[in-house]
Amino acid sequence: MASSTSRPATSTQIQLCLMSLPKDKAPRHFMVFACSDSRVCPSHVLHFQPGEAFIVRNIANMVPAFDQLKHAGVGATIEYAVKELGVANILVMGHSNCGGIKRLMSYPEDGSEPFDFIDEWVKMSLPAKAEVIAEAGSADFHEQCERCARESVNLSLANLLTYPFVQKAHLDEKLALRGGYYDFVNGIFELWELKSHISNLIIVQS
């Protein structure tokens, strides 16, 4: 993670940070993948007004890889946002103390699944868990979960590129893919590009 500094930010500054695109192109709409957790409402965190963002919320803000049969519902929302709305930004926003990430990090090695739907969903981010264990296997569980929340966002960004229409729009510089992480305890919002670069931290004022 690149070194960064924090600064107080107004809602306008947060929007400008999100809106920065190559060649100063101004975006028309945002698509946001956010967690279902009621503590991290994206419209509140990012100061969106009605009509400014197309928002999808699920357990641990995960985006599955392209699969026309298994995850048709998610694919339909992405297709609508990119091909019909013509969004210029897709943001995947993770957050601190995420229950879905905790479940992922405690996912049993033997493959037993006490939760039918939750486990089937979160296991798509097992590669993110493996990355965290490889890099921070000696860290405590809380630290591993916070790392995994970010790694899972990066995996979701990579998964977005498996959708042909997303990949084309991104390569044509019509679509920016960004990751975000909201620490709701300290009021800090991190934003980074697909290239694994962490931008300057912004403190979201409540």
The amino acid at residue 10 is T
**Across the beta sheet with 201-204, what order do the strands follow?**
6-9, 201-204, 188-193, 176-183, 89-95, 30-35, 53-58
- Tell me the C-alpha distance between 71 and 155, whole Å: 16
- The pLDDT tens digits of the residues spanning 93-124 come to 999 999 999 999 998 877 676 788 999 999 99
In the structure encoding, which two tokens stand for residue 122, read together?
């979160």
Q: Is 41 annotated as a binding residue?
A: no
Q: Is 148 annotated as a binding residue?
A: no
- Pairing state of beta strands 30-35 and 89-95? parallel
- Tell me the C-alpha distance between 49 and 80, whole Å: 20
Q: Is 37 annotated as a binding residue?
A: yes
- The pLDDT tens digits of the residues spanning 30-71 come to 999 999 999 999 988 888 888 888 999 999 999 999 987 788
- Tell me the C-alpha distance between 116 and 114, whole Å: 6
Q: Which of 171, 205, 164 is nearest to 187 (CA)?
A: 205
Which domains, from first to last, does the chain contain? 25-194 (3.40.1050.10)
Q: Is 95 annotated as a binding residue?
A: yes
pLDDT of residue 20: 54
The verdict on pTM exceeding 0.85 is no
Does the structure show a pLDDT above 80 at 204?
no
Torsion sign across C-alpha atoms 60, 66, 72, 75: positive
